[in-house]
Chain A
Amino acid sequence: MKMPTPDATIIARRVDIIARLQAIVPGDGVIVDDNELRTFECDGLMAYKQLPMVVVLPSTTEQVSQILKACHDMGVKIVPRGAGTGLSGGALPLADAVTVGLGKFNKILDIDLDNRCVVAQPGVTNRAITDAVEDQGFYYAPDPSSKIACTIGGNIAENAGGMHCLKYGLTTNNVLGVEMVLMDGEIIRLGGKHMDAGGLDMLGAVTGSEGLLGIITEVTVRVLKQPDTAKALLVGFDDVEAGGACVARIIAAGIIPAAMEMMDKMAIGAMQKFVDSGYPLDVEALLVVELDGSAAEVDDLTARVQAIAEAVGSTFIRVSENETERSQFWKGRMSAFPSVGRISPDYLTMDGTIPRHRLPDVLTRMAELSQRYGLRVANVFHAGDGNLHPLILFDANEAGELDQAEAFGHDILRLCVEVGGVLSGEHGIGVEKRDLMGEMFTEEDLNQQLRLKCAFDPDGLLNPGKVYPTLHRCAELGRMRVTDGKLPFPDIPRF
């Protein structure tokens, strides 16, 4: 993976650039000291590190606008950053770019439960939104594992998911509006407290755009009333296929659980060792199924899910008796990453999505790959929506193991695409999967995506080197390939 070659002429002007930024953000908002810059050298994808040229921490939309305008005028690149918890390297700094950190945008601006929404600055954490409305019985549905640390602005950039998006949707389904700053400094608002922003759905296009289209400075999200009751079931199986069949039958029976997670034996062992969650150690696959709603509905659905599980040959079933037990069942799954961190010096978190019914096939082939690469893999799986998180275990101190782990990961993602899935379900492409985009898209597909980029940022200054392997010049992308007179007369039915 190669990042774009830093522009020496920009780095040579570092002092001027710092002065321009200090004029916009006075005080301690501009970070230039190498030791302090080190805090920002990577995000959650820690295999890649790079000191930023300079970090600026604005606290108002107006400052963000002035920073972007100044950088636009100077031809300086920008890397937006939230809490730096992203797992695909979307906030990886560039040696010739200004990292714009949104950490000071940490206020909740408006809690409007009458309209079931919260307006927040982008640096507010995902969990803080729920915290702000919980006493009124409301919550914010998307719940990525990093919810305590990750920011709502970063969630929008990566279209973050979580355990509960099977029933309640991803970030994109829960955002009502944003205020954002374009690369030339222009401030725009998309959506608001109403539903379905008018005109072309730019809000939808911006969500999941990984910091390539603008910097978000305010967010309006939908919050939901907590369900009356929730119960969790642990269901164990002797083989992964039975687990997969159970998931398929639950959905086919018309039941959409609030969450439906699956893990394989290695993951179960690691989690149970990390925290006692009541997981059985003698099963090959374990499902955590959560059902929510009115008490009557939850009881009814629990009985139906139990019957399905038994019919497909489950060897272990436990239903949570109370809230304490329900949260205990979730503890292991919620600590998947630290659990695996205990059994291996290093690990890579993969994130592909597949059509659910291909799971047994994909797991079999992943086991073959694991043997071929000589690296262990633990699997956690958002089974309800087909989102796989294979965790590849390796030791970075062993020469070549990181490269092997990455190659293994890329083979897994190719496999996901081959069976009809996609490269990323919720972590984004970033730098990690950038060079695999050609596996999923043709050049024409990618060019059409890049033309959207050109509409927002024609000079390609926002987060370059991320998501797209090559950035063609916008002028080149804008040219029409066909010219008059050279076309075959269309050979299609006419009337």
Chain B
Amino acid sequence: MSDIFKPENDAHVVDAVRWAASGNGKVLDVVGHASKRGLGRLSRAENVLDMSALSGITLYEPEELVMRARAGTALLEVQAALDDAHQMLAFEPWLPGALYGTESGTLGGMFACAQAGPRRPLVGSVRDHLLGFEAVSGRGERFKSGGRVVKNVSGFDLCKLMVGSMGTLGVMTEVTFKVLPRAEKSRTVLLMGAKDPGAAMRKVQNSAYEVSGVAHLPATIAARSGVSDVRENAAQGVTLVRVEGPASSVQVRCEALRALWAELGRVEDLHTANTAQLWAEIRDAAFFTPDHQVWRLSVSPSDGPALAAMLAGSEYYLDWAGGLVWLAVPATDGASAERVRGALNDCATSGHATLMRAAPEVRARVAVFQPQPTGLERLMKRVQDGFDPHRVLNPGRLVLDRE
């Protein structure tokens, strides 16, 4: 028989974890709003630890660029508070709606899943914004790490480990994170029909113009954009660069970027409202049809374009100036993992591939997250032993435990 626990305070979380850790093979599926169940393997836990009642912003000091909230707080609530103060989560959290049809989820889930958006190369990833947390380990012990300040070298940085751990090390109960001012203006320059999109992207990425997004949409993908300027110019593919900041600066930098791209093809500007919509599509992988598996590859920018074209034909696009490849393969492709990871090994100097969307039975069979070399995998298991020796938290969600 399965239990659903809905803790209302930290002590409840401790009790639930200790109950599970007491033996008899009891395990917990830790969820916030269950919005990202499409990511990772399905947990084999039959009992649910529902964190959604541990909710609410507990500290927000805009002039200190810091917010603290309970882990079950809805991301929408956080974003509303940030909007009021003209601030933002600078790493542009990926939202699961486009891939899974779910709502935005909770803060705890956002940190546990660690998927950053187009602004990542400029401002850092999810991991770079978590300043501190409180959690209950798989041993049923409360612990904290970090603090509320950005500069902090006081003991091991466990924040980094918790981000992206898919809830397998501890149940975060409260998170403290860095927030940043939202730019006054945001504009996108479009380049149509670039012959070598990779080189075009790196040209602007490696310029002095502090670009906050560099992407390329091949024709098929660009034609599916909800932004008419992109859709109507889709024919030979669209390469994009975003600039943000004070109005005067945005204008100057856009002009400079247009000049950099002028010899590569036709260029055009996209203004603030359309820019927001377009980069949300890029952030969330909104271009793929539901009958496709979706992969996300992080590689060095110069490796991305060739790798993507080789693997996906036309069903792909590039973010992070080529360093992030989103690609789709038919849902019936049973060998996509071998093919994608094989190509990654053969053609990229370094990188990893994550299966972002696939049927549960596919995710049960293949490694959703990049398998690690043996020595590193052993080390990661020893780290897990330290946090959750009996694997009671989200067992199997990150890697398939040998049972």
- Report A's interface with B, CB cutoff 8 A: 112-117, 137, 158-159, 161, 165, 169-170, 172-173, 177, 182, 186-205, 207-210, 212-213, 225-228, 248-249, 251-252, 254-256, 293-297, 300-301, 353-357, 382, 385-387, 420-429, 433, 437, 440-442, 444-449, 451-456, 467-468, 477-478, 480-485, 487-495
Residues of A within 8 A of B6 (CB): 492-495
Q: B161 near A199 (CB under 8 angstroms)? A: no
B354-396 toward A: CB 8 Å interface, digit per residue (1/0)? Answer: 1000000000000001101101110110111111011000000
B330 nearest CB across to chain A (Å) = 25
Residues of A within 8 A of B379 (CB): 182, 188, 202, 455-456
B58 nearest CB across to chain A (Å) = 13
Residues of B within 8 A of A113 (CB): 206
Answer whether A201 and B8 are a contact pair too, CB < 8 Å, given A208-B156, A252-B63.
Answer: no
- How many Å lie between the Cα of A443 and that of B251 in the bound state? 54
Q: B163 near A201 (CB under 8 angstroms)? A: yes
- Report B's interface with A, CB cutoff 8 A: 3-8, 12, 15-16, 18-19, 21-24, 53, 61-66, 86, 114, 116, 120-121, 124-125, 127-128, 137, 139-145, 147-161, 163-165, 169, 180-182, 184, 202, 205-210, 245-246, 248-249, 251-253, 256, 298-302, 320, 323-324, 348-352, 354, 369-370, 372-373, 375-377, 379-380, 382-387, 389-390, 398-399
Residues of B within 8 A of A445 (CB): 143-145
- How many Å lie between the Cα of A29 and that of B202 in the bound state? 43
- How many Å lie between the Cα of A254 and that of B192 in the bound state? 34
Q: B154 near A200 (CB under 8 angstroms)? A: no
Q: B161 near A452 (CB under 8 angstroms)? A: yes
Residues of B within 8 A of A386 (CB): 149-151
Answer whether A489 and B19 are a contact pair too, CB < 8 Å, given A201-B163, A449-B156.
Answer: yes
What are the nearest 3 A-B pairs in CB distance? A204-B160, A192-B350, A451-B386
Of B137, B154, B350, which is within 8 A of A194 by CB? B350
- How many Å lie between the Cα of A192 and that of B21 in the bound state? 37
Cβ-Cβ contact count across A and B, 8 Å cutoff = 334
- How many Å lie between the Cα of A429 and that of B156 in the bound state? 10
Q: B249 near A355 (CB under 8 angstroms)? A: no
Of B18, B66, B121, B373, which is within 8 A of A188 by CB? B373
Closest to B65 in A: A251
Answer whether A444 and B127 are a contact pair too, CB < 8 Å, given A195-B320, A425-B149, A449-B155.
Answer: no
- How many Å lie between the Cα of A207 and that of B399 in the bound state? 24
Q: A208 near B184 (CB under 8 angstroms)? A: no
Q: B158 near A452 (CB under 8 angstroms)? A: yes
- How many Å lie between the Cα of A258 and that of B239 in the bound state? 29
Q: A492 near B16 (CB under 8 angstroms)? A: yes
A9 nearest CB across to chain B (Å) = 28
Of B4, B142, B208, which is within 8 A of A225 by CB? B208
Q: A448 near B137 (CB under 8 angstroms)? A: yes
- How many Å lie between the Cα of A478 and that of B137 in the bound state? 13
- How many Å lie between the Cα of A382 and that of B150 in the bound state? 11
Closest to B207 in A: A225
- How many Å lie between the Cα of A113 and that of B205 in the bound state? 11
A74 nearest CB across to chain B (Å) = 22
Q: A205 near B206 (CB under 8 angstroms)? A: no
- How many Å lie between the Cα of A221 and that of B332 in the bound state? 40
Closest to A192 in B: B350
Of A115, A165, A446, which is within 8 A of B155 by CB? A446
Residues of A within 8 A of B181 (CB): 251, 254-256
Closest to A423 in B: B154
Answer whether A254 and B120 are a contact pair too, CB < 8 Å, given A188-B379, A481-B139.
Answer: no
Q: A114 near B206 (CB under 8 angstroms)? A: yes
Q: B12 near A440 (CB under 8 angstroms)? A: no
B210 nearest CB across to chain A (Å) = 6
Q: A194 near B386 (CB under 8 angstroms)? A: no
Answer whether A354 and B209 are a contact pair too, CB < 8 Å, given A429-B154, A451-B386, A484-B24.
Answer: no
Of B18, B114, B253, which is within 8 A of A487 by CB? B18
Residues of B within 8 A of A252 (CB): 62-63
